[in-house]
Amino acid sequence: MRANAPSVGIDFGTTNTVIALRGGATDPARSVLCFAHGHPPAAGAAAIARYLEDPLAARLIMSMKSYLGQRSFTETRIAGRAWTLEGLVALFLREVLAPHREALAGARVTVGRPVRFVGERADHELAERRLRAACAQAGLDDVRLALEPAAAGQRFAATLHGPATVLVADFGGGTSDFSVLRFDGAEVRALGHAGLGLAGDALDFRIIDHALSPLLGKGTTYEVMGQPMPVPAGWYLSFARWHLLSLMRAPRTLRDIEAVTRTAEHPERLRALLRLIEDEAGYALYQAVAGAKAALSRAEATTIDFAHEGTRLQAEVTRAQFESWIAPELRRIGEAVDAALRDAGSPAVDRVFLTGGTSLVPAIRRLFEARFGAARVAAGGEFTSVAEGLALMGGATPQTPMARRGPGPGP
């Protein structure tokens, strides 16, 4: 590799992927694949378009990053072919990188990784090995991995006017990561890290669980030998998580829902649930929920109005309700911040930099303003700062925020 080789940053995210090249960062590409009979696999926007043409004849693969640390995921079969997780990630990367092959030739490539991968029992070493293997299969033979919040901090450093200790909070779709960095001229030292496997998807889950699942039978009853029994709550835990919905199309699950519907207190609600599962309407529903979450960042209330094949779900959601629903997530985020500061030796924090789409949620920002003061809190580059910072790190000397050690503890 040439000493003056260009530097490229790749932010492979749970929801979106961004590539930072010499000409700037690309627009976010959705981190999805679509397999449809008679067509080659498609990635990003093309995958979504292909899927929406005929959802019942297609397989949409989402949230691949969420499975990297899960030992239980070994392979999945698609159209009779076995695919490993590394193979799926590699296929996605090859597709989104294809237009940029010329820029990648001979480049220093730095790929982001979270402080903690998704999952209560996530194997972080396994996740990193899988990510490296996927990059190699995609034709990226010699990549460097760097912590995503540390990369975002590199980008933020350009706004500093002197030495500073900065807490960087990077909120993605599946993970929230925190790094405490010390910037002093050209020197950058990582003081501490922490992270947890929840972010934007977990907030979407709360909206579905509280506002929409009751319209689909959650909290109602059905009869068994004349006695009322609660409709199984586990169905709604899967339904509200977009990367698990496809598993509900298993014949046994569908038969169980049909059986409960026959004696249900509100059979029409369960029939609507069945229709959404069988018709693979989850993606459109999740888009409506994500839109509602974004609307609540701008307004005090919004209405979810979703229609599909005779099923209509309408629910008004206020910002106050939403913030009460996500209180457990806010508490865990606060605990992760505490863990990062402890890992750093509890230094005084001069500045706080928030990035990632979920940082736009007002309750998230207030959490940091209450702790550190509004004047110290800045935000920006919500969808591009990590990729841009990774590219900066790739062009730097080996003394980077990754030089301290591996990922720090979780909260």
Kindly report, residue by residue over 325-363, the tens digit of the pLDDT: 999 999 999 999 999 999 999 999 999 999 998 999 999
Once rounded to an integer, what is the mean pLDDT over residues 276-283? 86
Once rounded to an integer, what is the mean pLDDT over residues 126-137? 97
Q: Looking at residue 2, what is its pLDDT?
A: 52
Q: In the structure, what pLDDT confidence band is assigned to residue 3 with cuts at 50, 70 and 90? A: low
Once rounded to an integer, what is the mean pLDDT over residues 307-324? 95
Once rounded to an integer, what is the mean pLDDT over residues 147-163? 90
Residue 306 has phi, psi (to 5 degrees) of: -120, 130
- Strand-strand pairing, 351-355 and 377-379: parallel
pLDDT at 403 over 50: no
Once rounded to an integer, what is the mean pLDDT over residues 99-120? 89
Q: Looking at residue 126, what is its pLDDT?
A: 96
